Amino acid sequence: MPKIILDGKEIEFKPGQTIIEAARDAGIDIPHFCWHPKLSVSGNCRMCLVEVEQMPKLVISCATLASEGMVVHTSSPKAVEARNAVMEFLLINHPLDCPICDEAGECKLQEYAYAHGRGESRFEEMKVRKEKRIQLGPYIKFDAERCILCSRCIRFTDEIAKSHQLTFIKRGDKVTITTFPGESFDNPYTLNTTDICPVGALTNQDFRFKARVWEMSKTNSICIGCARGCNIEIWVRNNQILRLTPRYNEDVNSYWMCDNGRLNTFKFVNSDSRIDGPFVRRNGLLEKVSWEEALSEASNKLKKYKGNEIAFIGSAYATNEDNFMFIKLAKLLDVKKVMFARHIKEGDQDDILIREDKTPNSLGAELIGLMPINENLLNELFEEISTGKIKVLYIIEDDIFGKYENLKELAKKLELIIVHATNKNITTEFADILFPASTYAEKHGTFVNFQGRVQRIRPAVATVELDRALDGMSMSRWDKFGTPFDRWMQGKKYDAKPSWKILTSISTKLGLKIKYEMAEDVFEDIANTIDEFKGLDYDLISNNGIKIKNKAYEYIK
């Protein structure tokens, strides 16, 4: 491969790469504002100016192709002086409002002003004041006076979202960003502009003024909004999720995520509708009981029925570990009907990220061994409940009664309904035994996205169960799973457990000897049992996931 010399270090580059791209691949950061690896080059901020030997002037590294033998200096006196001048120019009209700016702590202008600025300005005139708190769209607030005109947001809407909704208007120091006349900035990906905005000009209205970045912990996880399984970071303060942001994975979602996934897939974790502790129905009402009492009640009642009198309904929202343990319990009870519901929203799909399948793990559920509910299977289930052949429904982590209205009428025909749920819903209203399930943000586990990629979730929020686990676990083992200790210190904790753990306890009471202590142990059993998962473990899946070898996923591409 060809090579250049960058600050005295010889680095390789791919033909066609610019200087900034070659430096980035080599782990060297050249300061920049307008350049972004997934957007076209605009070259208008001039922050990435570098000195190249045998060139008469400084060049912008974002638009200058690297060539064999090129000698580049990013810290020469000329380059440093130019960078300082650019910073001074950008700060002339920029407001000094870092203490109240939502971007504080993750602002490129703030960082570069400290690292590359002069520390004082020679500009003594009045700053140009522009409009503040402009509502560009349903989720975006725009502070025009903070904007440094990098054009990242405009290029994003043109090149990635394909919506062409933003543009520059006016001239000189009056230039600002706005939507086209009569347009609202309302495409499904608007909030990505708040991520790529290098300053605090574009802010997420939902997160605005809620917390500073240094006050929160962040945890790598997966979005549960659809079968894409976008890689995300969950940001938590006082044991509450405050925001989700996309995490780079070129094989899944690149740098992006949709607004629906960002805003509507975490608030139920903090909601007052959470199921807090187990319940058993007595005298027609659900009564809160101890875990031991609920587990004993469930196991004792399940013993009274034959396998053909029970139907198990798993979930495409549950992890592979949860569904695997569900199937183990079904086999122990000789249950033949073990199924799950798909949640398809016809037409709600695009060529960027969004999928019609609105669950994170439908492919995983099928590979683990659950049968997708089709019209014939559904009618058969209704018929068997109606005739009294099916007497028991065991449902985990899905609002089945909310999805299939006929089940409400048939509920009186059932003698026992056991439900695992994270929040109150229509199904929980019919439960005879109700177990509180941990949400995706409170447990370890794996999902399989529509491409057949196995990906990991991790606990970002503590439950009472996680607190107990922490007490008995060494720090080195807990840290292996990427969960900092300090996150559990404050905030409300719900009394919930992962479904696989609840199912393990019931199975043990029914005589099945299982020694699962952690979700990792369950996944190890999956990898030893199911062909598509063979050879996998949590370490191999890591942060970016790994694609399974089986081609079964192609039918839903």
Q: What pLDDT, on a 0 to 100 scale, did the predictor assign at position 182?
A: 85
> Do residues 150 and 166 make contact, with C-beta atoms less than 8 angstroms apart?
no
Q: What pLDDT, on a 0 to 100 scale, did the predictor assign at position 122?
A: 81
List phi, psi (to 5°) of 445.
170, -175
DSSP 8-class letter at 440 = G
Distance CA 465, CA 435 (A): 13
Q: What pLDDT, on a 0 to 100 scale, did the predictor assign at position 233?
A: 97
Q: What pLDDT, on a 0 to 100 scale, did the predictor assign at position 121?
A: 74
Q: What pLDDT, on a 0 to 100 scale, did the predictor assign at position 468?
A: 56
List phi, psi (to 5°) of 173.
-80, 5
What pairs with residue 295 in β-bridges?
A: none
Distance CA 507, CA 497 (A): 15
Q: Is the pLDDT of residue 51 over 70?
A: yes
Distance CA 421, CA 394 (A): 11
Cα–Cα distance list, 184 to 181, 257, 431 (Å): 9, 20, 44
Two tokens at 516?
Answer: 């699962």
Q: Coil, strand, or helix at residue 357?
A: strand
**What digits encode the pLDDT tens for the residues 403-440?**
999 999 999 999 999 999 999 999 999 999 999 999 99
Q: What pLDDT, on a 0 to 100 scale, did the predictor assign at position 469?
A: 57
CA–chain centroid gap for 518, Å, is 22
Distance CA 482, CA 477 (A): 10
Q: What pLDDT, on a 0 to 100 scale, did the predictor assign at position 470?
A: 54
- Non-local (6+) Cβ contacts of 517 within 8 A are none
> Do residues 98 and 32 make contact, with C-beta atoms less than 8 angstroms apart?
no
Q: What pLDDT, on a 0 to 100 scale, did the predictor assign at position 512?
A: 87
Q: What pLDDT, on a 0 to 100 scale, did the predictor assign at position 173?
A: 86
Q: What pLDDT, on a 0 to 100 scale, did the predictor assign at position 370?
A: 97
**What digits encode the pLDDT tens for the residues 219-269?**
999 999 999 999 999 999 999 999 999 999 999 999 999 999 999 999 999
Residues of the chain above pLDDT 90, percent: 84
Higher pLDDT, 210 or 486: 210
Task: Return the closest-CA partner of residue 247 out of 459, 546, 449, 544.
Answer: 544
Higher pLDDT, 209 or 474: 209
Two tokens at 376?
Answer: 């014939």
Q: What pLDDT, on a 0 to 100 scale, did the predictor assign at position 47?
A: 94
> With the C-alpha atoms ordered 196, 200, 206, 212, is the resulting torsion angle positive or negative?
positive
- Non-local (6+) Cβ contacts of 504 within 8 A are 325, 514, 516
> Do residues 97 and 32 make contact, with C-beta atoms less than 8 angstroms apart?
no
Q: Is the pLDDT of residue 474 over 60?
A: no
- Domain architecture of the chain: domains with CATH: 3-91 (3.10.20.740), 279-462+496-543 (3.40.50.740)
Per DSSP (E only), the strands in 307-462 are 310-313, 337-340, 371-372, 392-396, 416-421, 433-436, 445-448, 453-457
> Do residues 21 and 37 make contact, with C-beta atoms less than 8 angstroms apart?
yes
**What digits encode the pLDDT tens for the residues 6-16?**
999 999 999 99
Mean pLDDT on 334-355:
96
Q: What pLDDT, on a 0 to 100 scale, did the predictor assign at position 489?
A: 53
Mean pLDDT on 288-303:
96
Q: What pLDDT, on a 0 to 100 scale, did the predictor assign at position 126?
A: 82
Mean pLDDT on 29-40:
95
Q: How far apart are the first and last CA of the chain?
A: 36
Two tokens at 52?
Answer: 């190249």
Q: Coil, strand, or helix at residue 245?
A: strand
Q: Is the pLDDT of residue 183 over 70?
A: yes
358-374 as b/e, with b when 16 or more CB fall inside 10 Å? Answer: bbbbbbbbbbbbbeebe
Query: How many CA within 13 A on the CB side of residue 99?
Result: 0
Look up residue 162 and give its amino acid: K
Q: Which of 106-115, 153-162, 195-204, 516-525 has the lowest mean pLDDT?
A: 106-115
Q: What pLDDT, on a 0 to 100 scale, did the predictor assign at position 253?
A: 97
**What digits encode the pLDDT tens for the residues 107-164?**
999 999 888 877 777 877 788 888 999 999 999 999 999 999 999 999 999 999 999 9
Question: According to DSSP H, which parts of 303-368 are helical?
Answer: 320-332, 362-368
**What digits encode the pLDDT tens for the residues 369-406?**
999 999 999 999 999 999 999 999 999 999 999 999 99
Q: What pLDDT, on a 0 to 100 scale, did the predictor assign at position 180?
A: 87
Q: What pLDDT, on a 0 to 100 scale, did the predictor assign at position 467?
A: 58
Q: Is the pLDDT of residue 478 over 70?
A: no
**Element (DSSP H or E) covering residue 540:** helix 538-541
Residues 38, 43, 44, 46, Cα dihedral to 10° = 110
Is pTM beyond 0.85? Reply is yes
Task: Return the closest-CA partner of residue 110 out of 123, 127, 122, 97.
Answer: 97
| pLDDT level of residue 472 (50, 70, 90 thresholds) | very low
Task: Please identify which residue in the block is written with the tokens 């187990």.
Answer: 278
| pLDDT level of residue 280 (50, 70, 90 thresholds) | very high
| pLDDT level of residue 550 (50, 70, 90 thresholds) | low
**What digits encode the pLDDT tens for the residues 74-119?**
999 999 999 999 999 998 888 888 888 989 999 999 999 888 877 7
Decide the pairing of beta strands 416-421 and 433-436: parallel
> Taking each helix axis from N to C terminus, what angle separates 320-332 and 519-529, rounded to the nearest 10 degrees?
70
Q: What pLDDT, on a 0 to 100 scale, did the predictor assign at position 471?
A: 44
**Mean pLDDT of all residues belonging to the chain:** 92
Mean pLDDT on 201-206:
95
